[in-house]
Structure 1
Amino acid sequence: MTDSPAPHTPGITALGTRLAELSRKHDGAVMALTGSVASGKTTLANKVAEFLAETHKVETVSTDGFLFPNDVLEERGLTLRKGFPETYNVAALGDAIEALASGAADFPGYSHVTYDIDPALTQSITQPDILILEGLGFQQLSPPPRTAREPDYLIYLDASEEHLLTWYLERFKRLWHAAKEDPASFYANFLHMSEPELVEFATSVWDRINLPNLRDHIAPLKDTADIVVLKDADHAIRITHDRIG
């Protein structure tokens, strides 16, 4: 006898049900999911995909693969702005969305261990019922009906800046600890630091890079997103805005 799957939380059920409803209007609906660094976009995408997979063919992919490689960012003087709009190959992202509508597309992959594009992580995706495309690099979407190079809907994952910093530091420390067993990890560059020094450094990165990016480029998308989901300190979510008629 197999174990029954764990029940989905009310927030995941509500969001998954809403996306299933919206997918009926599209062949191969593309749902963009964005929000701050460390807000939990990947986790949310995977949980919603798990819910939807009971009735739909679902794929999830990150926009991180559309970041320009580190050598390109360095050449353009953008290394310290990774994650800002100008560090994404927006044309390639549009190409992939458009190609998927015709049947299949390759989505490049990114390694958070090496902190760079990894060709081995490329995903070849055949048009599913629903694609959840999560990450950064999105722009404000056109009014419906949208172009073939845009997602069909934009979902914004909202959270307080205080919680986001807490989650960012937790993730930074987790990857730092893991680097002790993996010298190839980008985070091995920080193994000479004590944990208090690491936290001080990571906080400065947040304040200098991630927080300005959030305030100037990411958070404004909340005002026009089709759906806004709020995440609390306990990682529970709920839909706070649904602007789709």
Structure 2
Amino acid sequence: MTTRSKEHALGITALGERLSGVSGRHEGVVIGLTGSVASGKTTLANQVAAVLAEAHAVETVSTDGFLYPNTILEERGLTLRKGFPETYNAEALGDAIAALSTGTADFPGYSHVTYDVDPGMTRTIAQPDILILEGLGFQPLSPPPRPAREPDYLVYLDASEDDLLTWYTERFHRLWRAAETDPSSFYANFLHMTEPELLEFAKSVWDRINLPNLRDHIAPLKQTADIVVLKD
């Protein structure tokens, strides 16, 4: 294992231990995990969950399922603002968090292949010791103790804008390649492009949509987060 890999593993373990300590304060802790598009929220959630699973019942779920379906976004003229706060059903997200505190809750799923909410991916989750709810769509949290419709704690995954752009274009390129053998993929819409054209298009999407969303709506959540994790 390289020095960098060891540092990464130690960081994941340290975060897991911090969240494990949080979970001892009451049952059914909900940890919100947010950060920019392409920052690696899902990967971090899964890695930390693996650490926590040694001593706790843990579930991870994405907020992506609480995006309004593409048909509704189109009707409301919000297609090019997907990921902005107004494209999430915040009431339904709050309902699910509150319902989980008393038993079970349904969490809808989202397909990054079709780029839309997928009802068939809905998961019914019974209250675990710790739920890691990762994604976008969070509002600034109330001061502790927080109401039942909000996560108990918020973790913010921070990274430089340059790194985020690199990770975003790499992911866009990877999904574009995968679409060559999957005509149902949303990214099949871009197969007519050359690779340089695709990368330029991905950068334009970042500059027009994801970067303004990051600066105006996501990054400010760092100020009310309970834990900030820096990724390089």
2:202 is matched with which residue? 202
Matches within 5 A, 1:126-141: 126-141=126-141
2:3 is matched with which residue? none
Alpha-carbon distance between aligned partners in 2 of 1:106 and 1:54, rounded to the nearest angstrom: 25
1:236 is matched with which residue? none
Alpha-carbon distance between aligned partners in 2 of 1:16 and 1:171, rounded to the nearest angstrom: 26
Matches within 5 A, 1:96-135: 96-135=96-135
How far does residue 41 in structure 1 lie from its aligned partner after superposition?
Answer: 0.1
- Tell me, what secondary structure is at the counterpart of 2:42? helix
- Alignment of 1:161 onto 2:161: yes
Alpha-carbon distance between aligned partners in 2 of 1:26 and 1:12, rounded to the nearest angstrom: 23
Query: 1:160 corresponds to which letter in structure 2?
Result: S
Over aligned residues, Cα RMSD in angstroms? 1.1
1:13 is matched with which residue? 13
- Alignment of 1:173 onto 2:173: yes
**TM-score normalised to the size of structure 1?**
0.91
Alpha-carbon distance between aligned partners in 1 of 2:107 and 2:38, rounded to the nearest angstrom: 22
State how many pairs are aligned: 227
1:26 is matched with which residue? 26
Alpha-carbon distance between aligned partners in 1 of 2:120 and 2:43, rounded to the nearest angstrom: 22
**TM-score normalised to the size of structure 2?**
0.96
2:73 is matched with which residue? 73
How far does residue 120 in structure 1 lie from its aligned partner after superposition?
Answer: 1.0
How far does residue 71 in structure 1 lie from its aligned partner after superposition?
Answer: 0.2
1:229 is matched with which residue? 229
Alpha-carbon distance between aligned partners in 1 of 2:170 and 2:50, rounded to the nearest angstrom: 25
- Tell me, what secondary structure is at the counterpart of 1:121? strand
Structure 2's unaligned 5+ residue stretches are: 1-5
How far does residue 91 in structure 1 lie from its aligned partner after superposition?
Answer: 0.1
Matches within 5 A, 1:50-61: 50-61=50-61
Structure 1's unaligned 5+ residue stretches are: 1-6, 233-245
Kindly report structure 1 stretches of 4+ aligned residues shifted beyond 4 Å: none
